[in-house]
Structure formats: C-alpha cells, structure tokens
C-alpha cells in the first residue's frame, strides 16, 4: 500500500484514538469535535501540498529546493528526479542531433531529405550551393518547384531510383551533378548529390582524345590506301610512280610523327618527377638557334640571347624537346623574311625562356585552347607545316612537370611570344 495512504490511515486512527476517550469520558460532542479537527488539519496539510504540486506542474523546473511535507516530500523528490532525468535525456538527444546536423553540413556531397510529396525537410549547405536552394525559405517547398530542369522533375516523378541521374546544372557554372535518391524511414527520400564535373570532363577528354587520334591517323591511312590501290591497279610511268611514292612517304612520315608525339606525351604523363640535371642554358640556347636555322633554311633571321647568370635544373631531354617545339613553331608559322628571337633571362620571380616571332600571330579567342591536344587554329596550315597538333600539349606538360608556366601573347599579323616562366627553385646560379 502506498505510504501516503498508510500515513493518512494512521492519522485518522490517531484522531479517532484521541476523540473516542474524550467523547466517552467527557462529552460526546467534544469527541466528535476532536475527530473533525484532526481530519480538518490533515485536509489542510494535504491541500497545501497539493496546491504546491499544482503550481509546480504548471511550470516544472529543476529545483533542488523543491520540497513537500511529510509523505509529500517523497512525491516531490521523485518528480524532481524524473524531471531532471528527462531534461538530461533531452539535452543529450539535442547534442546528438546537433552533431548529426554538423556532420551533414560538413559533407562534401549534397544531402536533401524529402517527404513523399517531394517537399524539402532538410538540406545541407553543399546541396544549397549545388541546386541553388535556400534552406530557411525553401524548407517545406516541393523541390520540383525550385529545381525545374525537366530531366530532374521526370526522375523524381518517375520514382525509378535504381540508377543515379546525371544532371548538367543550368546554373551557369557548367557543373555536372550525379543525383541518387534512396528511400528511407518508410515514405521519406534521401537525395545524395555528388559533383562529378571533374570526372565527367576527364571522361569527355578521354573520349575526344580517342576520337581525335583515330581521326588523325585515319586521314593519312586513307590517303596511303588510295595510292596503294592506284599503284596496284594502274600501270604508271616512272615519273608518276616516283611522285606517288613520294606522297606515300610523306603520309607515312606524318603518321610516324603523330605516333612519336603521342608516345612522348604518354611517356611524360606516366614518368616520375623529372631529374634535377644541371642544364647548361648557354649551350642549349645555341643548339636551339642552330636547329632553328636548319629548319628555316635561311628564310628567317634567328637571334639568340642569354644573360648567362644562371642555368636550369630539370630533365634535359624534356626541356630540349619543349623549347625545340616552341622554336620549330615560331619558324613554321613565320613567313620568310621574318625574325625569331630566342631568349633566356633572369626575372624577379625566377627565370624565363621565350621565343618571339614576327609571324602570322593568333587571334585571342584561340589562345586559351592552344595547349589542348590536336587543337590547331588552321588545320590545313598546320598539316602543310608538318604539325601534329600535339606540340604545345607536350610543351605545357613538360613545363608543368618543372613547375613552370607557359605564357602566350600574340596578335594576328604581328607575331607571337611564347614564354616559359620558371620559379627560382629551378635555377642554379652560374
């Protein structure tokens, strides 16, 4: 039996125990009066504590001084402990939820939680940035009212979430997102959003590269096959035969150059960081001048200048090939009578190797794309000049491996300047 009831019965019995002798030995009404007074006192005591409990229940606080009287003290004590435990549990749970939200915010992938009607329950900052959402105002809104790209709407409404959706964002930044929806907690959906822009670009580059290589090799191959067929089927005189064979040799040389450049590119791509050989720049510049003159065959003026204060550290064959490409381009894209200036000089940031020409120049719109594989301003002209479209890609790659930057300045009809800027860490004072 609860202690409060036992206490109440004891008090009633006590009042009766005093009232009965008084009523028997004195007068009966006095006995009743004592009994009623006892009950009244007990009721008053209970009402007082009841009123305190009522006040507390309307605004429960964790207050260690919360005390009842008599048996009520136990009730107040238990309520106090209960309230305290409850508040500790709530605050622990709040901490856990806060940590969970902090973890979701820290994710580099976007996360959006949706209800059955695609209304946003929660979204992290990455998702806000990826989809252009604003958590505070967009919560409770159907996401398809905010991201209206038809493929996105169709994906959500189609409810077939076996495969992720690849979405090209229409928000300007040329972003590609991979969106995966996972059902959870019955009828809710968790949307995971990965930014796959980089891997998509690499994929596209790989596909374009294979297509370009096939195309570049197919053209001379087709020409070769055509000539072979002609030689097999038609009786030609000696002169025509000679002419055809020369043209075939030219095509096979072209294929050889493409394959050679592809091999160079792939070998520098997979090679370990370049050696730190000491490259004698005076010698190298002199060799480049002589190679340029040989290629020009006396049609250009080739000038070489070295300030002689420092040499370069790096892989000599790679640097020779990169600088040689720049000189060869300057000669090939400069009409006869023009000048090519090869220069090596110390700068405040490090040192600079440059090749400047008075050639055909390049329109500004082409400059950012010149180092892409197989990119040419004028395909026919490049082919006639014996180019493969891979030269500047090789140059850029080799320079990157030496922490150098390629700076291109050009004006159509005036000329071009290609400069490789090396950091001071790559230099050796002479």
Our finding on whether 68 is near ligand ADP (CB under 6 A) is: no
Our finding on whether 330 is near ligand ADP (CB under 6 A) is: yes
Our finding on whether 23 is near ligand ADP (CB under 6 A) is: no
Nearer to ligand ADP (CB atom), residue 211 or residue 430: 211
The two tokens of residue 373 are 């594989």
Our finding on whether 357 is near ligand ADP (CB under 6 A) is: yes
Our finding on whether 265 is near ligand ADP (CB under 6 A) is: no
Stretch of 3-11, 246-254, 285-293, 381-389 contacting ligand ADP, by CB under 6 A: 381-389
Our finding on whether 356 is near ligand ADP (CB under 6 A) is: no
Determine which residue in the list 295, 313, 359, 422 makes contact with ligand ADP, applying CB under 6 A: 359
Determine which residue in the list 118, 388, 402, 406 makes contact with ligand ADP, applying CB under 6 A: 388
Our finding on whether 251 is near ligand ADP (CB under 6 A) is: no
Place of tokens 């930057």: 405
User: Ramachandran region of residue 367, left (φ > 0), alpha (ψ -120 to 50) or beta?
Assistant: alpha
Q: How far apart are CA 188 and CA 191, in angstroms?
A: 10
Our finding on whether 38 is near ligand ADP (CB under 6 A) is: no
For residues 230 and 210, the answer to whether their CB atoms sit within 8 Å is no
Note the Cα 126 to chain centre separation in Å.
11
Our finding on whether 377 is near ligand ADP (CB under 6 A) is: yes
Our finding on whether 360 is near ligand ADP (CB under 6 A) is: yes
Our finding on whether 220 is near ligand ADP (CB under 6 A) is: no
φ, ψ for residue 354, nearest 5 deg:
-135, 150
The burial of 33, by beta-carbon neighbours within 10 Å (0-12 exposed, 13-18 middle, 19 or more buried), is given as middle
Our finding on whether 292 is near ligand ADP (CB under 6 A) is: no
The two tokens of residue 376 are 């040419």
Give Cβ neighbours of residue 181 (< 8 Å, ≥ 6 apart).
155, 156, 161, 189, 190, 191, 192
Instruction: Give the sheet arrangement for strand 310-314, strand by strand.
Output: 277-279, 310-314, 427-429
Place of tokens 């060799």: 287
Nearer to ligand ADP (CB atom), residue 200 or residue 378: 378
Our finding on whether 387 is near ligand ADP (CB under 6 A) is: yes
Give Cα separations from 68 to 18, 92, 137, 369 (angstroms): 27, 29, 49, 85
Determine which residue in the list 166, 345, 378, 421 makes contact with ligand ADP, applying CB under 6 A: 378
The two tokens of residue 283 are 């010698």
Residues touching ligand ADP, count (CB under 6 A): 22
Q: How far is the CB of 207 from ligand ADP (least distance, A)?
A: 20
For residues 426 and 313, the answer to whether their CB atoms sit within 8 Å is yes
The two tokens of residue 263 are 């091999």
Determine which residue in the list 31, 416, 419, 426 makes contact with ligand ADP, applying CB under 6 A: 416
Q: Is 306 helix (H, G, I), strand (E, B) or coil?
A: strand
Q: How far apart are CA 340 and CA 322, in angstroms?
A: 16
Determine which residue in the list 189, 376, 402, 426 makes contact with ligand ADP, applying CB under 6 A: 376
Q: How far is the CB of 368 from ligand ADP (least distance, A)?
A: 12
Our finding on whether 338 is near ligand ADP (CB under 6 A) is: no
Determine which residue in the list 389, 397, 404, 422 makes contact with ligand ADP, applying CB under 6 A: 389
Q: x/- binding map, residues 390-409, to ligand ADP, per CB under 6 A?
A: xxxx----------------
Our finding on whether 302 is near ligand ADP (CB under 6 A) is: no
Q: How far is the CB of 333 from ligand ADP (least distance, A)?
A: 3
For residues 215 and 221, the answer to whether their CB atoms sit within 8 Å is no
Q: How far is the CB of 271 from ligand ADP (least distance, A)?
A: 20
Nearer to ligand ADP (CB atom), residue 193 or residue 328: 328
Nearer to ligand ADP (CB atom), residue 144 or residue 404: 404
Nearer to ligand ADP (CB atom), residue 69 or residue 363: 363
Q: How far is the CB of 202 from ligand ADP (least distance, A)?
A: 20
Nearer to ligand ADP (CB atom), residue 23 or residue 391: 391
Our finding on whether 322 is near ligand ADP (CB under 6 A) is: no
Task: Spell out where 286-360 has E strands.
Answer: 301-306, 310-314, 339-346, 350-357
Q: Is 332 helix (H, G, I), strand (E, B) or coil?
A: helix
Q: Which residues pair with 415 in a beta bridge?
A: 411
Q: Tell me the HSE value of 291 on the side-chain side, using a 13 A CA sphere.
A: 18
Q: How far apart are CA 258 and CA 254, in angstroms?
A: 6
Interface ranges with ligand ADP (CB under 6 A): 325, 329-330, 333, 357, 359-360, 362, 370, 375-378, 382, 387-393, 416
């Amino acid at each position: 039996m609860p202690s409060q009831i036992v206490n109440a019965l004891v008090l009633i019995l006590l009042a009766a125990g005093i009232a009965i002798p008084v009523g028997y030995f004195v007068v009966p009404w006095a006995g009743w009066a004592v009994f009623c007074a006892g009950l009244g006192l007990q009721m008053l005591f209970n009402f007082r504590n009841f009123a305190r409990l009522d006040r507390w229940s309307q605004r429960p606080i964790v207050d260690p001084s919360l005390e009842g009287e008599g048996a009520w003290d136990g009730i107040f004590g238990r309520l106090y402990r209960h309230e305290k435990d409850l508040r500790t549990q709530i605050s622990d749970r709040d901490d856990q939820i806060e940590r969970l939200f902090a973890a979701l915010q820290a994710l580099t992938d976007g996360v959006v939680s949706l209800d059955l009607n695609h209304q946003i329950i929660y979204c992290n900052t990455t998702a806000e940035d990826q989809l252009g959402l604003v958590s505070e105002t967009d919560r409770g809104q159907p996401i398809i009212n905010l991201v209206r790209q038809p493929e996105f709407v169709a994906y959500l409404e189609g409810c077939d979430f076996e495969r992720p959706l690849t979405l090209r964002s229409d928000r300007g930044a040329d972003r590609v997102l991979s969106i995966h929806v996972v059902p959870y907690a019955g009828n809710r959906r968790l949307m995971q959003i990965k930014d796959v822009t980089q891997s998509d670009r690499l994929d596209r580059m790989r596909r374009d590269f294979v297509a370009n290589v096939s195309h570049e090799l197919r053209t001379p191959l087709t020409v070769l096959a055509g000539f072979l067929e002609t030689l097999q089927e038609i009786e030609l005189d000696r002169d025509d035969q000679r002419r055809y064979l020369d043209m075939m040799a030219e095509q096979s040389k072209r294929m050889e150059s493409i394959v050679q450049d592809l091999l160079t590119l792939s070998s520098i791509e997979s090679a370990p960081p370049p050696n730190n050989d000491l490259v004698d720049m005076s010698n190298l510049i002199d060799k480049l001048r002589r190679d340029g003159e040989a290629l020009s065959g006396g049609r250009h003026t080739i000038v070489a200048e070295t300030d002689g204060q420092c040499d370069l550290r790096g892989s000599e064959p790679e640097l020779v090939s990169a600088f040689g490409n720049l000189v060869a381009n300057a000669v090939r894209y400069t009409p006869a009578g023009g000048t090519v200036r090869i220069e090596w000089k110390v700068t405040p940031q490090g040192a600079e190797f440059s090749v400047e020409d008075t050639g055909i120049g390049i329109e500004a719109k082409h400059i950012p794309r010149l180092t892409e594989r197989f990119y040419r301003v004028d395909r026919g002209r490049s082919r006639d000049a014996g180019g493969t479209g891979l030269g500047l890609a090789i140059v850029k790659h080799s320079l990157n491996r030496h922490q150098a930057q390629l700076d291109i300045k050009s004006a159509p009809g005036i000329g071009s300047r290609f400069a490789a800027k090396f950091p001071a860490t790559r230099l050796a004072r002479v």
